[in-house]
Amino acid sequence: MLEMLHDGFVRNFIVEDRYLFIINGFFTTLKITFFAVLLGIALGFLIAIIKSTHTMTGKLKLPNIICDIYLILIRGTPTMVQLLILFFIVFASVNNKILVAILAFGINSGAYVAEIVRSGIMSIDKGQMEAGRSLGFTYIQTMIYIILPQALKNVLPALGNEMIVLLKETAICGYIAIQDLTKGGDIIRSRTYDPYFPLLTVAAIYLIIVMIMTAGVNRLERKLRNSDHWKLN
């Protein structure tokens, strides 16, 4: 049994340096996830502020309509279809596949982040906004220094879950010929005709990353809830 495991390990990872498919794919997955998360958060916060501002003040009607259309399109179509449309149609002349993937996943994530943050903003008592304005803050200052910090504490678990979902969604990058973690494992499988070692290894790596991300979000959540003073930098 041990000899069979040893032979399988050597055949799948050592021969022809096949372990490099996993390592290179791992870093590609992290790169796409990291920058897509940043884009999704930036886009999501912007849309959430626009929509909540429209709800509370009635202003920003045109931007709110644009945001509604964006949310309907993104939430109503599969992520893989969006990725393929961006790669084969919108950015057909762009040679940077990783950039296209970052944009696709970031734009997709932004729609869900927007709804998460918007619900957090709307959960804050209206008196908080009135208190900020009575202190001489502008609407934007009140939103940044009073409303958003409280809202972020409430939605942090949901945001963490969205980041984890985004990480796992990057597994479809292989459809546009990006050698991510999943594709790296599949390449090894296609060369050795052994699905067990490469695919189980890929699954284990994803699991470890998710566990680390979950632990980090939980620790940050506890830190924020135990802090009396927290501001958004």
Provide the pLDDT confidence category of residue 227 given band limits of 50, 70 and 90: low
**Phi–psi pair at 174, nearest 5 degrees:** -60, -20
The predicted-structure confidence for 10-37, as pLDDT tens digits, reads as follows 888 888 889 999 999 999 999 999 999 9
Q: What is the pLDDT of residue 221?
A: 80
CATH code of domain 2-226 = 1.10.3720.10
Q: Which of 156, 49, 153, 39 is nearest to 106 (CA)?
A: 39
Helices (H), ranges, the chain: 2-9, 19-57, 61-75, 79-85, 97-122, 126-134, 139-142, 148-169, 181-192, 196-226
The predicted-structure confidence for 73-113, as pLDDT tens digits, reads as follows 999 999 999 999 999 999 999 899 999 999 999 999 999 99
Q: What percent of the chain has pLDDT over 70?
A: 97
Q: What are the boundaries of each domain within the chain?
A: 2-226
